[in-house]
Chain A
């Protein structure tokens, strides 16, 4: 299993240790399980999946761009709490054989995260694009309403877990995507809207800053991320279609 990253480019790491997500080249192809995925376009990339008969992928229904007529769809039961959390109520499963393509609707990057058995990854809402069927899906509630009221990162995070089988997870990050690995106990403060994903070993809690951000507001909240583990951020977090 590969992630499609170009192998002939140097890692781009900033002085403070943030590594840019590799920008997948147009028409890059990579494999997962017995299927393949080809990435098309660079401004708003499309992930086009060719599913093997034994394979499947799941996704939020509104990211589906096109599919072969023969590809069957079914819904995954996620319970009503997803809708209460403002997230899409329906997660859809597509099974092979056939082709199906996905994209979100903002300039950004496709982040391909191959997951080895025993990995757990938390992803912000509205960033998940598609995952292979071997990746288990659930969602978790972020403790503390301040996250919802002030930070904007929502009440729920999507959690992806691999048990015995490897899998692949694809996210759409708005703007550019950067990743950093925190040492045990190392902390960083991130604008909650810029948070994209983290290893489940990284803890996240709202931290009030001693700064007033409006005449009648009490202060500014940032997400305090504490290592060990990876943290991914996106450089654009305002969804333009909502303007």
Chain B
């Protein structure tokens, strides 16, 4: 294997292969970079294979791609139970022990993680038109992923979940409500004992960008797909100028998250707008701008 670094997964790869064996990205295409510096993540080609351990994963389909795993006896994967599409009768399925089940339930996160131990075949898919994004993690690498975007990880990738600490409150008294624009919790994955593979499902198209130290960027909270843990996040509120002062302070505001470099960030092109238009009474640490 030559010393070729895949421009998408940043791992040493094989330029003679039709697709990167580490992440499935095509190696024979030009990089698509927008004028503002976003790199378009090329979709994994139909039937491309990604190698990990003694096993491999094959991506089938392009509208709602299926990740089909051929597991050897030594390898196992874990995933949320609702992404399981099919399995053969050989693969051994079980529950992955999880901490904080009640908090996960309250936060609307998947309560149960399943694991599948080889040998056998098993396939997973999410329920949105979009792309599978493969992130091979080198030993010791951490990655933060927004909730509900995780598809599957190999057994040697440790999973944890932590509060995002990005929130705001509306209403008072009994009407008080706390909102979490990017979800209450985020998933964190760490390749502890060796290299591992993490697959995400990204609705729509995916774009990645490297933030320089001190560089910051505003993105829609639900558009953030993943980020290096070196990238810091805070709430940012913007109040556009309006002819009616009360209107500006009351409901005409934009809710963003501000990302601070250094590190890699990725966004998806399908996102949900933050809910409601009530006055924000209190919020997590953040910045604001009144135009």
Contact = CB atoms under 8 A, between A and B. Distances in A.
Interface stretch (A27-35, A88-96, A112-120, A209-217): A209-217
Interface stretch (B57-65, B171-179, B191-199, B232-240): B57-65
A178 B60 contact: yes
Interface in B121-151: 121, 123, 125-129
B50 to A, nearest CB: 12
A189 B87 CA distance: 5
B109 interface: no
Given A190-B86, A211-B93, A16 B64 contact: no
Interface stretch (A52-60, A75-83, A230-238): A230-238
B58 A15 contact: yes
A18 B114 CA distance: 23
Given A214-B111, A233-B85, A237-B127, A175 B63 contact: yes
Per DSSP, chain B at the interface is mixed
Contacts of B114: 211
A240 B84 CA distance: 18
Interface of A: 12, 14-16, 18, 20, 43, 107-109, 174-176, 178, 187-191, 194, 209-215, 220, 222, 233, 235-238, 240
A238 B127 contact: yes
Which of A109, A176, A194: most chain B Cβ within 10 A? A176
B230 interface: no
Given A211-B93, A213-B112, A215-B111, A15 B85 contact: no
B68 A16 contact: yes
Contacts of B111: 213-215
Contacts of A43: 63, 129
Residue from A20, A175, A215 with most neighbouring chain B CB atoms (10 Å): A175
Contact of B129 (A12, A107, A187, A188): A107
Nearest to B56: A15
Contacts of A188: 86-89
A interface secondary structure, majority: loop
Interface in B74-132: 81, 84-89, 93-95, 101, 105, 111-112, 114, 121, 123, 125-129
Contacts of B86: 188-191, 194, 233
A174 B64 CA distance: 8
A125 to B, nearest CB: 17
B63 A20 contact: no
A94 B105 CA distance: 49
B84 to A, nearest CB: 6
A43 B126 CA distance: 17
Contacts of B65: 176, 235
Nearest to A10: B47
A194 B56 CA distance: 23
Given A175-B61, A214-B111, 10 more contacts: A15-B68, A15-B70, A108-B63, A109-B63, A175-B129, A188-B86, A188-B88, A222-B87, A236-B129, A240-B127
A223 to B, nearest CB: 9
A87 B111 CA distance: 31
